[in-house]
Amino acid sequence: MIQRRAFEIAPAPPYDFALALHYVRHAHTSILERGDETIYRRALRLAGRDVLLVAHATGTISEPRLQVEVAGETVDDAVLAEADARLRHIFTLDIDPAPFLEVAMADPVFARVAAPYPGLRPVLMASPYESLIGAIIGQQITTAFAAKVKRALFDLAGRSIEIDSVHYPLLPEPAEVAALDPAELLARQFSRQKAATVLNVSRAVASGELNFAALSSLPPDEILARLTQHKGVGRWTAEVVLMRGLGAHDAIPAGDVGLRAVIGRAYGLGRHATEAEVRARAEAWAGWRGWATFFWWHQVQLERVARSD
DNA sequence: ATCCAGGCTCCTG
DNA sequence: CAGGAGCATGGA
């Protein structure tokens, strides 16, 4: 039997869930989400239970509400509490965007990217581990190819739940990934280094040597230092985890090619900005560089979607 | 074929 | 510390 329980979230306004769903739907990094224009669906392991989260918006942008349903074999209070916390984290629901918008408006170039979307807010990965695996796989390859490789990894691990005759894929547990045969990954278009790195960090997470809950209470620089001690995890990967996995408002992966390209275009350089130039520009968004990164990536996505139409 | 893509490591100077 | 060679993958 499937249990279903519902609750409501009141995000800090202004908030436009449709913009978040648009981002999720078109992001190559979204592998496990099964949303459409109005509904977000995602299977997750919460409080030790595999469940499906279903969310849709009601209300208005200035008085937003999210209606959430949790379905699974066991949906107890602990599961419900984690579902609430996780959604607030993924969609950055509890943060007042006003200070960010103020910073954004002070930079005329960035304002053109941010101002049209006052109801948009960073969409994070559902867990730090997921962001780490995704970032490692995404190193130095196109987002489309990275999506293909990630999908292959999740298929290989093969975890899913079935609700109403629909199978929803689940993120494999770190221990399950760690137990995979590297040859299986190489056969699925992993490079040797990426296969080794994914297996090694999964082992570290499974053993508790790498503990994101403990990490998250440390200063950002310390988190970066800890993460980059793992071979195959460089500054870019660590900054992506910090920003999109842990939700650090001010973390920016300034070496990112996409970011360098869009910033080069926006500021009329006629070429990719260098990492140093990105960091210099980003001083203007201090305190909110993670949010700014998300808005730039959103801009990149809008341009890509426009081209493909 | 050549260049590029949401890099990393290791080795020079 | 900065810069760059070499590495690994598939796609345009």
User: Phi and psi for A6 in degrees, rounded to 5?
Assistant: -125, 155
- What is the number of domains present in chain A? 2
**pLDDT value of residue A307:** 84
Q: Any alpha helices (H) in chain A, and if so which ranges? A: 17-26, 77-90, 98-105, 108-114, 128-138, 143-157, 174-178, 182-186, 192-207, 212-215, 220-227, 235-240, 257-266, 275-282, 289-308
Distance (Å) from CA A90 to C1' B5? 27
Q: Which nucleotide is nearest to A228 (CA to C1')?
A: B8
Positive or negative, the CA dihedral A42, A95, A119, A133 is negative
Could you give the C-alpha distances from A161 to A77, A153, A170, A240, A254, in angstroms and in order? 20, 17, 7, 28, 37
Q: Which strand B nucleotides have any atom less than 7 A from protein CB atoms?
A: 4-10
Q: Which nucleotide is nearest to A195 (CA to C1')?
A: C8
**The CATH number of the domain where A81 resides is what?**
3.30.310.20
Whether nucleic acid strand B comes within 7 Å of the CB of A302, the answer is no
**pLDDT value of residue A35:** 81
Distance in angstroms (rounded) separating the CA atoms of residues A16 and A93: 10
**The CATH number of the domain where A190 resides is what?**
1.10.340.30
Q: Would you say residue A300 lies in a domain?
A: no
Amino acid at A245: G
Could you give the C-alpha distances from A142 to A10, A231, A257, A284, A293, in angstroms and in order? 36, 22, 10, 29, 18
State which residues form the domain around A177. Answer: 128-245
- Indicate if A133 and A85 belong to the same structural domain: no
Q: Which nucleotide is nearest to A190 (CA to C1')?
A: C9
Q: Six-digit token pair at A82?
A: 């984690």
Strand partners, A64: A59
Tens digit of pLDDT at every position of chain A (309 positions): 899 999 999 999 999 999 999 999 999 999 999 988 999 999 999 999 999 999 999 999 999 999 999 999 999 999 999 999 999 999 999 999 999 999 999 999 999 999 999 999 999 999 999 999 999 999 999 999 999 999 999 999 989 999 999 999 999 999 999 999 999 999 999 999 999 999 999 999 999 999 999 999 999 999 999 999 999 999 999 999 999 999 999 999 999 999 999 999 999 999 999 999 999 999 999 999 999 999 999 999 999 998 887
The SS3 call for residue A240 is helix
Q: Which nucleotide is nearest to A276 (CA to C1')?
A: C2
Q: Which strand C nucleotides have any atom less than 7 A from protein CB atoms?
A: 8-12
Whether nucleic acid strand B comes within 7 Å of the CB of A138, the answer is yes
Distance (Å) from CA A262 to C1' C9? 24
Do A94 and A13 meet the contact criterion of CB atoms below 8 Å apart?
A: no
Beta strands A3-9 and A64-72, pairing class = antiparallel
Distance (Å) from CA A130 to C1' C8? 22
Q: Would you say residue A189 lies in a domain?
A: yes
Q: Would you say residue A120 lies in a domain?
A: no
Domain edge (last residue) among A245, A274, A289: A245
Which is nearest to A157 in space by CA: A188, A196, A121, A114? A188
- Indicate if A132 and A237 belong to the same structural domain: yes
Whether nucleic acid strand B comes within 7 Å of the CB of A264, the answer is no
- Indicate if A84 and A146 belong to the same structural domain: no
Q: Would you say residue A293 lies in a domain?
A: no
Strand partners, A43: A52
Whether nucleic acid strand B comes within 7 Å of the CB of A82, the answer is no
Q: Which helix (H) or strand (E) holds A66?
A: strand A64-72
pTM of the predicted model over 0.95: yes
**pLDDT value of residue A49:** 98
The conformation of residue A4, written as its DSSP 8-state character, comes to: E
Any idea which residue has 């074999």 for tokens? A73
Residue ranges near strand C (C-beta within 7 Å): A 140-142, 144-145, 148, 186, 189-193
- Indicate if A53 and A148 belong to the same structural domain: no
Of A residues 161-220, those with CB within 7 angstroms of nucleic strand B are 193
Domain edge (last residue) among A72, A96, A120: A96
Distance (Å) from CA A6 to C1' B3? 51
- Indicate if A82 and A181 belong to the same structural domain: no
Whether nucleic acid strand B comes within 7 Å of the CB of A74, the answer is no
- Indicate if A137 and A236 belong to the same structural domain: yes
Distance (Å) from CA A296 to C1' C5? 31
Buried b (16+ CB within 10 A) or exposed e, A32-68: bbbbeeeebbbbbbbeebbbbbbbbbebebeebbbeb
